[in-house]
Structure 1
Amino acid sequence: MQEEVAIVATNPSSRTDPRDLLGEWGNSADEWVRYIVRHVLTGAGPLSQDEAAGAYALFRQEKAFDPRALPVEEPLAITESEDEAIEPLALTSISQVVGVNALVEGGVIEPHAGLTILFGENGTGKTGYSRIFKALAASRTVDVILGDIEAATPKPQSALITYTLGSDAKTYTWTGNQGVAPFTRMSIFDSPSVSFHVDDDLEYVYVPAALALFNHVIAGIKSVQATIDQAVTELRATATGLVSRFPRAASVYPLIETLGASTDLEHLRSMADTSPDVDARTGDLRRTVAALEADTISAEIKIQQRLESILTQASLAATTIADLNVDAYTRERDTLRTLQEDYRTFRTALFEAADLPAEPDDTWSAFIVAGESYQAHLVAEGAHDADRCLYCRQPLSEAARELIGKYSEYLEDKITADITASTTRLKALTAPVTGTQASDAAAFAAEYSESTITSATDTDTGAGGSGDAGGSEDKPAFHVELDRTLSTLTQLTELLSNTSEVSGTLTEHAASDAETLRSALGATSERLAELRSQAETRSETLMAKKKELVELEAAAELGRSWSLIDAQVSDAKQADRLTLLAKPMPGLLRAVTGLAKTASDQMINESFDALFTEECAVLRAPTLNIEFVGRQGRAQRRKVLTGKHKPSSVLSEGEQKVLAMADFLAEARLAGITAPVIFDDPVSSLDHRRINEVAQRVTLLAETTQVIVFTHDIFFASTLLSLMESSKRCAYFQITDEDGKGKVTRATGPRWDSLNNIKKNINETIQAATGQDGDARAALVRTGYDWIRAWCEVFTETELLQGVTQRYQPNVRMTNLSKIKAEALPEAIETVNRVFEEACRYIDGHSQPLPALGVSPTLAGLEAHWAELTTARSTYLNAGS
């Protein structure tokens, strides 16, 4: 007999409608916030794209960014409204499964409106079907679905789902999608979800429509906040590119570089030049700068510097030539020649008797001078020996001493001293001329001389005009004086160096040439000074004009770009204001979150707490505390044990399993279950007592809800079938891998045989046999005996022995032992045992001796035996009444 489970509806206490909370808060907020709240309340959902844009537009107008065009957002008038009813969802079949794991094709599951059991051993393919349900629902533990990994070419995933939504029958072709409405309303519990339900901070899968309003308001505020952020970003991005229009050296550049909300526009405007002729003035100034930058003065200065150097050399040379005293030179030259002649006469006479090897010439004189110098050296060293020869060191003879004496007399002769004095005077006269350097002047003269030759050549070849004209154009005005001076200097230098005779006519033009060259030098120096002065002035002028040009260009650009500058400063000010106005946004979000927390405490958390406590009591789950947390308008729950310990660190695996199931069922019941609830192996790691308790909770849920159970536990499956025997709200499917994984077969179950079902089958078989003859009747009669044999077994288990022991049950029901009618047993046992033995003779499941194989059962015998069993059951049940 099924134990009763107390599950009652939870009646939440009186509470404030969330719409009232939102309305009161919205009426105390800005208009744009009230706009969001109004649209969320009236639409009962999130803002549309146009409504979100309208909220931002109202924000801008309310904060005086834009002219006011929208109407005033009046205070909200709140009226309660009921949440919309949700149409119930029920699955009617899943078929045509392709490409899911290694499931064979062709399987069909037709879930019952109540309980559907999908039983199969591990590895038979149940998981493939459960994964389809998880994908459709987008459950917390949805798995990646693979195809047949052993197939050469995996097939695309697909399955045909038929279902009802309210009163409408629908179909959906699944192709691997996750989270498909309305299947997302299905609740799925499996082993991997245990950790979520036990330890994690979970959000509710279901959020009441009224509570969801807070999320929509938060989303609306965030959309305005995001639009503000985007507007600020765009407003501040307009600064790029403007600064590149202005010269970096302009005084206005730093002001443009730092354009922003704090820029003094009036000061900046005063620096702009918007005159109509600004472009013309800019062009003129650019041409002036270009002319100054050409720098022709520097080249002219270099030319004049070289010319000054050349004229300096030439005028000095001419002056030196003019200063030469030709008469004095001639007299001194004659004096020197006379002295030299006297000297040679004296030397010849002095050494005529000396038997010299050659005439006493200048070389010999050098020899005598060298000997005298050596003798002076020996005297200074104190090593001179007057009796020995200075050269061969042999003793001197009288003749030798006489010769040496003549040497001394020769060296001490006055004529030699006069020659030396005359030579010195002559050198003093000629040195200024012979020492004059005029190489630069000579090179300059050679240049225009070559130019003259080239011009003459060009004239000869027809390349130019008159040779004389070409030559005279290349020569300087002083070229005659320069050429004559250089020529005279060359001749004089050669004559004076050789002490040759100089004619007075050679230097007669020197003075006038020197004057002309000095005059040209003075003019050149003056021109050079003038050019240098101009160069210094030009550099300063160029700098001033460049600066003037930069400032003028910047001022002109300032005028041209004023609209952009004004807009950029305006944008920067607007961005700063928007940033300032965006600062309260987090506070608004926190306020809505606080309201949502209050509402969720009333609408969800209090209800969930009661439901969870109820489920824990039914499932005998451990007692613990639930903490409710909320952030950004989201309701969440957290379970803790004493000392803030996580349940998983203290509870056993079985305790965690039933605790998670209690959390799962409380969450599913919170909204009112309107869609299938699916359990995937819910009793693994549970003992027999907890399995029975879970089975009772599942079957109680199946009385009002479509429930689908995947299991490989035969005791759990048989318990479920037993508990559903009276209501018949159950379908059982066997999943095997005999013909490939996932082979689905509708079956009666491991223990689904009931007396009423078997009685119906026996009567239908007898009725069918009555209308047949021959082998067909014989086959039906044998089938009838097969059912009679099964009836005997079930009658023995359930009524004779009162279900004390049954197949696939985990325990012996000792409480039913007293219900057995011992006094009526013998008669019932005799009839049942005799008919059971007779039935075994006619069924294929028992081997028979050869003589019995030829005896066929008759329809009359079947009817008689069935009547005996019916009478025996009635007698037993009425015994003791």
Structure 2
Amino acid sequence: MGTTTAARIDPRDLLSEWANGSDEWVRYIVRNVLTGTGPLNADQSAIAYALFRQEKAFDARELPTEEPLATLESVEEAIEPLTLTSVSEVAGVNALVAGGVIEPHAGLTILFGENGTGKTGYSRIFKALAASRTADVILGDIEAATSLPQSALISYTLGSEAKTYTWSGGQGVAPFTRMSIFDSPSVSFHVDDDLEYVYVPAALALFNHVIAGIKTVQSTIDRSVKELRSAPNGLLTRFSRNATVYPLIETLGASTDLEYLRSFVDTRNDVETHVGDLRRTVAALEADTISAEIKVVQRVERILSQASAAATVIAGLDLDAYIRERETLRGLLDDYRIFRKSLFEAADLPTEPDDTWSAFITAGEAYQGHLVALGVHDTERCLYCRQSVNDEARTLIEKYSQYLDDKISVDIDASRARLQALTAPITALVVTDAATFAAEYADSADKPAFHVELSRMLKTANTLSELLSTAAPVTPALTKHASADAGGLSVALSTTSTQLAELKSQAATRSDTLAAKKKELVELEAAVELGKSWTAIEAQVKDTKQADRLALLAKPMPGLLRTVTGLAKTASDQMINESFDALFTQECAALRAPTLNIEFVGRQGRAQRRKVLTGKHKPSAVLSEGEQKVLAMADFLAEARLAGITAPVIFDDPVSSLDHRRINEVAQRVVLLAETTQVMVFTHDIFFASTLLSLMETSKRCSYFQITDEDGKGKITRATGPRWDSLTNIKKNINETIQAAKTQDGDARAALVRTGYDWVRAWCEVFTETELLQGVTQRYQPNVRMTNLPKIKAEALPTAIETVNRVFEEACRYIDGHSQPLPTLGVSPTLAGLETHWAELAATRSAYLSADN
């Protein structure tokens, strides 16, 4: 399926003509791409950018002028053919057993195995090597205790040179990336996606190299702009944020008015002396002790506030009321004890009624109230033992209630409350800070004037608090100085507050002076620093102006790239798309794929294709699964043929979801491809495999491997195939078996003779299928070949049938697959009988073939 194309314009001429109308730096890129036939290296990219800068007057011109490009001679692409010779020593791939060897034929190699036998593991190796669009992640044996590293030994020839490569799990290994692989997951890519071509002619790849070169210059410009605009010169850190010039330095850029900024520079000869004097003045103001003194006085004010408040509370204590209420409470408690004793004299209590006993009675009353609230109190039963109470016990219980409801108890509680109200202000006093202050000056000779009153107040407060908290007696002598202490501390507090106000007023005046001098110092230092940094400032402004120019010159870059993309699309239409369109049409016809339109799209110099049906529908939305499969295969084969296939083509289960007719069409296309190309087919479809073998029977350019899981996943054996029994092969086996039997005696000869009859039986079956019945019906074939029915030689059939059937029955007696009755079980076949029967069959075949139809 070849195709011819008309003479086309060389893409090199397109690039040269376009470059001659562009800038010099663009011409430099194109010239180096065309002469080197590859992308620019790092040095060439650097020169392209340098030429851009010199051409645009950023730098002095040093590089030579780029002259217009002349038309270049076309360069023919030469690709050495790649042929796989063996795959062995596979380890760490899925659960494949070790020892499997695949020796692909130079023509067609069929790897047949049922689902789950391990075919996928081998196909994944090829996909990884080729970096196939559908390459899977390869796992090791997930059930193994330890996983082995992935590896395989690949033997191949490149041109005429034999080579080996040890694969260790890598993706995309040259030259295996030239292999073309088709599998079911790739169908969606080939049917619906906007696909880039796997093969790009070297001449067309030049556009990508030119685009890459322009993008390199573009990215270098972008990087330079970024660096120029964000150069870390540290200028801003040299100036105080409070200086007037700080915002001007912060916004330095191409629009900065340097003359205005320069007006802030202090050019006086003695400016450093002024800076020194001002710094000393500020330091003197900052070293002032007023702030520290204010803190000390603030603390004293806080201590006196606490102490004065405490002294006032102590002075306000009504000691007479305390003494009276304390005596009242004592009298009530005595009366209470007398009442309790007299009330329970006849109660037969185990001990005198005391406070512990009172608590017991109170608890019982509370429990009784709880039962009453729940509605379960029983007045006839004891609260504790739950026994019935008699009159005597009921009388005692009534006395309990009388005791708890007595007025004396109420008076005692009221007296205690009054006593608590009198003493609470004293017992609640907090004088921790005052006590700490007094302790600090206890041993000091330089005590504050109020220390006597403070210490006495603290002592009185501590003593009173201890006595009043236990309702102990207090003598008037303890508080005789309380009023004097309160007055003294109050006067000291007032004096201290006045002193603090004066200090704060002085500090405010000094702060204003210090702030003014500091501002003056900041401005003077900024003016001096501005003069010192002027060179760096001018450089930064220059850099930002250059960055703006570069950014402006970078704006046409996308337009340049679009122009090259347009040239690439023109060239790809001529070099790839038109050829692909013709090849795709051929493949669709061969595979009876649906008719549809191909749109050729391209971006950034990439050649792409898209398939659509009428109305711009995606094929997958309309076509059946089988139609999509053959459409994808047509796309795949057309793409593979674009450059002329020079590497293996691999099909992984290509006929799943296809009917028998399409399987036959795919098989014919695969066989046609295998006449000139190394083809490998992984399949579990027995009809497909047998069809391939049948089609390859004449050329013999075929190897068949059986993949099973009998001794572990991926067990590989070379086989004759599910339907590879030809008369020629069987004839050879019979002759070789007869010759081997002639060299043996006894049991060895008998075993070989039985094997010979086994082959004779197979010969009879194949002869009947292929020649007597002319292949009208054959095993593993999907259809009855009715067109072959007239080829059967009906008149010669009876004689041939008699001989073949008789020898077939005789052969069945001697093979192990048929059991025999006892009378014939001991009859052994003879070599002479085998030779005679074989001669009869040969003569019968010769006679049948020579008979007229």
Assess if the C-alpha contact under 8 Å between 1:83 and 1:210 holds in 2.
no
Q: Does 1:857 align with 2:829?
A: yes
Residue matched to 1:39: 32
Residue matched to 2:227: 234
Task: Measure the CA separation in 2 of the matches of 1:863 and 1:762.
Answer: 10
Deviations along 1:76-134, one digit per CA (max 9) or x if unpaired, are 12213224311111111112222222222211111111111111111111111111111
Residue matched to 2:578: 606
Q: Does 1:631 align with 2:571?
A: no
Q: Percent identity?
A: 85
Tell me how large the CA RMSD over aligned residues is: 2.5
CA change 1:790–1:293 in 2 (3 A) is: closer
State the secondary structure of the residue aligned to 1:822.
coil
For residues 285-434 of structure 1, the aligned pairs below 5 Å read: 285-290=278-283
CA change 1:863–1:275 in 2 (3 A) is: farther
For residues 575-590 of structure 1, the aligned pairs below 5 Å read: 575-590=547-562
Deviations along 1:235-279, one digit per CA (max 9) or x if unpaired, are 111266312212334333232122111223344344334566432
State the secondary structure of the residue aligned to 1:823.
coil
Residue matched to 2:148: 155
For residues 226-305 of structure 1, the aligned pairs below 5 Å read: 226-238=219-231, 241-273=234-266, 277-290=270-283
CA change 1:850–1:276 in 2 (3 A) is: farther
CA change 1:542–1:806 in 2 (3 A) is: closer
Residue matched to 2:688: 716
Residue matched to 1:421: none
Counterpart residue identity of residue 588, structure 1: L
Residue matched to 1:802: 774
Residue matched to 2:121: 128
Q: Does 1:182 align with 2:175?
A: yes
Task: Measure the CA separation in 1 of the matches of 2:579 and 2:676.
Answer: 20
CA change 1:158–1:291 in 2 (3 A) is: closer
Counterpart residue identity of residue 188, structure 1: I
Deviations along 1:584-629, one digit per CA (max 9) or x if unpaired, are 1100111111111111111111111111111111111110111111
Q: Does 1:26 align with 2:1?
A: no
Aligned residues: 643
For residues 690-701 of structure 1, the aligned pairs below 5 Å read: 690-701=662-673
- 2:800 maps to which of 828, 848, 851: 828
Task: Measure the CA separation in 1 of the matches of 2:291 and 2:220.
Answer: 64
Assess if the C-alpha contact under 8 Å between 2:240 and 2:522 holds in 1.
yes
Residue matched to 2:3: 10
Task: Measure the CA separation in 2 of the matches of 1:806 and 1:88.
Answer: 38
Assess if the C-alpha contact under 8 Å between 1:607 and 1:670 holds in 2.
yes
Structure number with larger C-alpha Rg: 1
For residues 211-230 of structure 1, the aligned pairs below 5 Å read: 211-230=204-223
Task: Measure the CA separation in 2 of the matches of 1:543 and 1:849.
Answer: 129
- 1:574 maps to which of 517, 536, 546: 546
Q: Does 1:103 align with 2:130?
A: no
State the secondary structure of the residue aligned to 1:233.
helix
Q: Which moved more, 1:684-693 or 1:124-133?
A: 124-133
- Please list every run of 5 or more consecutive structure 2 residues that lacks an aligned counterpart in the other structure: 293-444, 447-504
Counterpart residue identity of residue 197, structure 2: Y
Q: Does 1:762 align with 2:755?
A: no
Residue matched to 1:784: 756
Q: Which moved more, 1:188-197 or 1:854-863?
A: 854-863
Task: Measure the CA separation in 2 of the matches of 1:64 and 1:847.
Answer: 101
Counterpart residue identity of residue 822, structure 2: L
CA change 1:758–1:563 in 2 (3 A) is: same
Q: Does 1:643 align with 2:609?
A: no
TM-score, normalised relative to structure 2: 0.72
Residue matched to 1:208: 201
Residue matched to 1:113: 106
Q: Does 1:53 align with 2:36?
A: no
Assess if the C-alpha contact under 8 Å between 2:619 and 2:628 holds in 1.
yes
CA change 1:160–1:552 in 2 (3 A) is: same
Residue matched to 2:588: 616
Task: Measure the CA separation in 1 of the matches of 2:627 and 2:565.
Answer: 34
Residue matched to 1:94: 87
State the secondary structure of the residue aligned to 1:725.
coil
Deviations along 1:844-872, one digit per CA (max 9) or x if unpaired, are 22222333333333322222222222221
Assess if the C-alpha contact under 8 Å between 2:109 and 2:681 holds in 1.
yes
Assess if the C-alpha contact under 8 Å between 1:17 and 1:80 holds in 2.
no
Assess if the C-alpha contact under 8 Å between 2:756 and 2:834 holds in 1.
yes
Residue matched to 2:330: none
Counterpart residue identity of residue 243, structure 1: L
Task: Measure the CA separation in 1 of the matches of 2:683 and 2:88.
Answer: 20
Q: Which moved more, 1:567-576 or 1:720-729?
A: 567-576
CA change 1:540–1:136 in 2 (3 A) is: closer
State the secondary structure of the residue aligned to 2:636.
helix
State the secondary structure of the residue aligned to 2:795.
helix
Task: Measure the CA separation in 2 of the matches of 1:88 and 1:271.
Answer: 77
Assess if the C-alpha contact under 8 Å between 2:10 and 2:74 holds in 1.
no
Assess if the C-alpha contact under 8 Å between 2:750 and 2:829 holds in 1.
yes
- 1:656 maps to which of 605, 608, 628: 628
Assess if the C-alpha contact under 8 Å between 2:750 and 2:830 holds in 1.
yes
Counterpart residue identity of residue 218, structure 1: I
Task: Measure the CA separation in 2 of the matches of 1:155 and 1:603.
Answer: 46
Deviations along 1:549-592, one digit per CA (max 9) or x if unpaired, are 33331221112112211211111111111111111110011111
Counterpart residue identity of residue 743, structure 2: G
Residue matched to 1:678: 650
TM-score, normalised relative to structure 1: 0.70
Shift of 1:748: 0.4
Residue matched to 2:788: 816
Counterpart residue identity of residue 804, structure 2: V
Assess if the C-alpha contact under 8 Å between 1:683 and 1:694 holds in 2.
yes
Task: Measure the CA separation in 2 of the matches of 1:298 and 1:598.
Answer: 84
State the secondary structure of the residue aligned to 1:708.
strand
Task: Measure the CA separation in 2 of the matches of 1:183 and 1:753.
Answer: 34
Assess if the C-alpha contact under 8 Å between 1:147 and 1:157 holds in 2.
yes
Deviations along 1:801-847, one digit per CA (max 9) or x if unpaired, are 11111111111111111111111112222222222222222222222
CA change 1:108–1:291 in 2 (3 A) is: closer
Deviations along 1:459-478, one digit per CA (max 9) or x if unpaired, are xxxxxxxxxxxxxxxxxxxx
Task: Measure the CA separation in 1 of the matches of 2:120 and 2:521.
Answer: 84
Deviations along 1:671-697, one digit per CA (max 9) or x if unpaired, are 111111111111111111111000000
CA change 1:262–1:821 in 2 (3 A) is: same
Shift of 1:753: 0.8
Deviations along 1:33-56, one digit per CA (max 9) or x if unpaired, are 111111111111111112111211
Counterpart residue identity of residue 252, structure 1: V
CA change 1:771–1:275 in 2 (3 A) is: farther
CA change 1:856–1:292 in 2 (3 A) is: closer
Assess if the C-alpha contact under 8 Å between 1:239 and 1:568 holds in 2.
no
Residue matched to 2:532: 560
Task: Measure the CA separation in 2 of the matches of 1:539 and 1:878.
Answer: 132
Task: Measure the CA separation in 2 of the matches of 1:193 and 1:72.
Answer: 50
Assess if the C-alpha contact under 8 Å between 2:33 and 2:40 holds in 1.
yes
Deviations along 1:621-679, one digit per CA (max 9) or x if unpaired, are 11011111111111111111111111111111111111111111111111111111111
Assess if the C-alpha contact under 8 Å between 1:261 and 1:570 holds in 2.
yes
Assess if the C-alpha contact under 8 Å between 1:260 and 1:568 holds in 2.
yes
